[in-house]
Amino acid sequence: MSRVFNFSAGPAVLPEAVLREAAAEMLDYRGTGMSVMEMSHRSKTYQNIIDTAEADLRKLMGIPAGYKVLFLQGGASQQFAMIPMNLMKTGAADYIVTGQWAKKAWQEGKLYGRAEAIASSADKTFSYIPDCSDLPVHDDASYVYICENNTIYGTKFHTLPNTKGKPLVADVSSCFLSEPVDVSKYAMLYGGAQKNVGPAGVVIAVIREDLITEDVYPGTPTMLRYKTHADNGSMYNTPPAYGIYICGKVFKWLLDQGGLAEMGRRNREKAAVLYDFLDASRMFRGTVVKKDRSLMNVPFVTDSDELNKKFIAEAEAAGFVNLKGHRSVGGMRASIYNAMPMEGVKKLVEFMDGFEKRNG
Ligand SMILES: *Cc1c(COP(=O)(O)O)cnc(C)c1O
């Protein structure tokens, strides 16, 4: 068996310790004689798995009382609709458009009311985060929406926008659990698990309880109401049971590593190794305004498409996989989530350095 260094943006690398533990429990989960995959979600054993996962997530993020944790399905993309259906109580909401995911959420929002883009970085191919200190937030906006870390373009809101008192809703899919977070600043944050938390198929939403009401867009299906899931402990129907179990293991792993403060420290260190190299290189360069750089997704290019292609192919042959940039932007992208060890980043930089010397 040999593991590669997997720089995929998602589904992405998971901690090896978690995978080993899951493998060891595959045929017989702790004396039950069955896999978690085969288990009734109504069993005591499973209830304990989901309760522990939620408790550990609350501990990790310091989620205050008054917030619900929901384990949902449908990917982060399902939330693009669920958010306006459930939270656009005034029929209006403001969106900050900093990339394709934010744009998709904005477009979806328009199906349910007056969704307006109050800031955008589309003018420079989403290579920066606009100044959000004094935006024209609408008086009747039910919320202000952001995509906090832009997976495709590699930018991050290092300062949250001034929403002028309006509830902040954030897609944190690709920066979930990457550093400490003050949950009380958000009305809702959510993310698909497959970037930094667990397997695809699980979406985790943390929502202020007072926003979870029956006052939803007319015709909102039962399954798409937050209240349905909140009232039933995320088990109105069969939850993505195995995925939640793996997420729970990742939460334990994060706690064992020292929690989010420690992850933040490691992630800043890892990102610095890669960005410092890019800043010094004469062949490779980062594509994003420095102050807005993501710690998780690092896009970079050379000046030649041919060289990009050659680099990606040679890197793959050397065991550094999934470095191809998103199909919409080209070039390269290294996603260096929590589970990517420093060793992987250092070896990648060594490889890039060698490539530059051979081809410079
Ligand atoms: C990947 C991603 C999505 C889409 O996730 P799905 O689970 O495939 O729907 C949405 N937002 C962000 C920030 C992402 O990185």
Query: What is the average pLDDT across 57-86?
Result: 98
Whole-number Å distance between alpha carbons of 339 and 197: 9
Q: Look at residue 360 in the predicted model and tell me its pLDDT.
A: 82
Active-site pick, 94, 171, 292, 324 = 171
Indicate which residue's Cα is closest to atom 10 of ligand 1: 76
pLDDT of 289-333, one tens digit each? 999 999 999 999 999 999 999 999 999 999 999 999 998 788 999
164: annotated active-site residue:
no
> 356, 310, 360: which is closest to 332 by C-alpha?
310
Q: Look at residue 71 in the predicted model and tell me its pLDDT.
A: 98
Query: What is the average pLDDT across 194-222?
Result: 98
Token duo for residue 26: 């595959």
Q: Look at residue 318 in the predicted model and tell me its pLDDT.
A: 97
Task: Supply the pTM of this predicted model.
Answer: 0.98
Task: Give the residues surrounding ligand 1 with Cβ less than 6 Å away.
Answer: 10, 75-77, 101, 147, 151, 171, 173-174, 192, 195
Nearest atom in ligand 1 to the alpha carbon of residue 79 is 9
pLDDT of 141-184, one tens digit each? 999 999 999 999 999 999 999 999 999 999 999 999 999 999 99
**Which residue bears the tokens 């944790």?**
69
Nearest atom in ligand 1 to the alpha carbon of residue 147 is 13
101: annotated active-site residue:
yes
Domains and CATH numbers, the chain: 17-256 (3.40.640.10), 258-359 (3.90.1150.10)
195: annotated active-site residue:
yes
Test site for ligand 1: of 82, 129, 169, 173, most ligand atoms within 8 A of the Cβ: 173
The backbone torsions φ and ψ at residue 10, rounded to the nearest 5 degrees and listed phi first, read 150, 140
Whether 355 has a pLDDT exceeding 90, the answer reads yes
Test site for ligand 1: of 82, 101, 147, 297, most ligand atoms within 8 A of the Cβ: 101
Whether 1 has a pLDDT exceeding 90, the answer reads no
Q: What's the per-residue H, E or C state across 62-122?
A: CCCCCEEEEEECCHHHHHHHHHHHHHCCCCEEEEEECCHHHHHHHHHHCCCCEEEEEEECH
| Residue 2: pLDDT band with limits 50, 70, 90 | confident
Active-site pick, 68, 156, 195, 270 = 195
